[in-house]
Structure 1
Amino acid sequence: MQQSEIQPLEGLTVLDFTTLLPGPLATLMLAEAGARVIKLERPGGEDMRSFPPFVKGKPVLFEQLNRGKECLELDLKDEAARGRVLELLQTADILVEQFRPGVMDRLGLGYDTLSARFPGLIYCSITGFGQEGPRASSAGHDLNYMALSGLLAQSCGSAKHPVLPPAQIADIGGGSFPALTNILLAILKRTKTGKGCHIDISMTDSMFTFGIFAHAFHAAGKPVPDWGQGLLCGGSPRYRLYPAGDGRLIAVAALEEKFWQGLCDLLEIEPGLRNDRADPEASAAAIARALAAKPSSDWKDLLSAADCCACVVATMEEARQDPAIAARDLFSHQLDVGGEAIEALPLPLASHFRKQP
């Protein structure tokens, strides 16, 4: 493969405070496009370093997501470490963070503080529910976001009537977004070279990014977990769907130990079953029994108060009526169809980059 003479983001510096998948994948693409990415981790490293598979003691997922980045461990609660961050910001163009809203502010590294000192800084915050709204500070993972958006409910079928995924992942995730990303990169590159280019987007090629966990096992020379057996595919008691007493589904995504223990505390799971690695199915059965003891209407507030990455799977109509969703003002844009104003498609664009409603 021929290496480009000049990369579109060459000369830009990114400070990456993110962990796990969403932010690291985004900053990986920035790094691949030529940016210098400095990944700032807590002492001991971020959680993805502990995820299997491993090759020669190295975590494959972490290595794949953070290829080409400079890793630096800093305790952001330490004043000297924050001083080091401010030094790095002197030459940084972009900051990407993935904490819950308010964390960076408490560290003295929030947008208002930094923008006053570094007016040219592009500051990107990635969260589950946005910077504002009733659910802004809630914990969550991918499964919760799908459940609360109404998307997951559309994929629940039966053995007699299996259903297809409700989202056009290949069309949108494999076609639309890569096209947008690469077009923007091409524009940046053109400002440096004066030349346009042909962008070849294959939706099939793009799908391999979505199979990140399976790809990591394959790259490590390990067997890819069978369907439904992977960590994020229902193979772990901590990350699967359980029916409540009324048959409605509960999305449990309590991956981290603190969330798992919080869920177990709420459900009064006995100590011997909390070690889900010893007997995963026994632990899952205990969770299932506990959740089946109450209807979903009872669990909704209990799970929310426990803040343990578990929630009732919402229908699309319920999701649209959710005050936390309404507070995000997703559906205010309209378009004219035959003289009738109809709701425009919600888009993942910052409001100040999008045309007004």
Structure 2
Amino acid sequence: MSTPPTAADKTGPLAGIRLIEMAGLGPVPLAALMLSEMGADVLRIERADAKEPLLSLPEAHDLDRHGRSILRLDLKRPDGAELLLRLAEKADVLIEGFRPGVMERLGLGPDVVLEGNPALIYGRLTGFGQDGPLSRRAGHDITYLAYAGLLHAVGRQGAPPVPPLNLVADQGGGAMMLIAGVLAALFQRSRTGKGQVIDAAMVEGASMLAAPIHAFMAAGLWSERRGENLLDSGAPFYDVYEAADGRHVAIGCLEPQFFGEFARLLPLDRRFVGSQYDRTSWPDMRAAIAARIREKTRDEWAEAFGPT
């Protein structure tokens, strides 16, 4: 991996912002990476006795360390914690993803750190929040999705739920919500001069991402049964089909004008165009689409639909 750029070399909307990243796994490193790519000068604090992670990547592909300066500290030693406090006095942002109470036990909680630098943005990310009955439990993306009730909705009709990689709770509800909070706090600080604590939780962030689905459900427009809705493979015009070569084609044409163009190019029996949202026609429509997609390879379909 190349030497990280110096603060003077970095460009972007966050150029000049100094960020301390407390090394961890998952969404906090992704948040640090994205803020670094926006121009922030990121210093990653790693444990002096850090072990190799469960999924260890070659240096050239290790995005958890890309674009950062690295400093190893033993924060259990008074001199290590004192050095971090001095670094935080000159920083704009600090982000951490430890379980609740860890930073406080090290003498590095937000009350202590903000006393030395009232303008600091102190970003925290946990699975279940800083307090409450689940706050001290460990978890992963699949855990938070299950508790939020979202895992139930992902999968096909008659089949078990399917984990959507770790994109929803870890990266969407975690990293993206943390970034949004940090950016909003930096904007507010530009007007007030004061920092603040950003407290994000993955189970809450994932639930927020599902707000439109909850609205559909409350309005009676979404079924709790998997694979029966517009965006969960229930609609034949929003699904994945196998091509002649065993590869797959993603079909997404929700709007009538797009479905009409899709039907023209496939081609699909025109009787389906006028009944796109008639659910009684969906089984026959799905069978017709599947039969047509199997007639050509994935690349042939990509060429056919590429210009539209």
TM-score for both structures, normalised by structure 1: 0.42
Report which of the two structures shows the higher radius of gyration computed on alpha carbons: 2
TM-score for both structures, normalised by structure 2: 0.49
Ranked by relative contact order (alpha carbons within 8 Å, sequence separation 6 or more), the top structure is 1
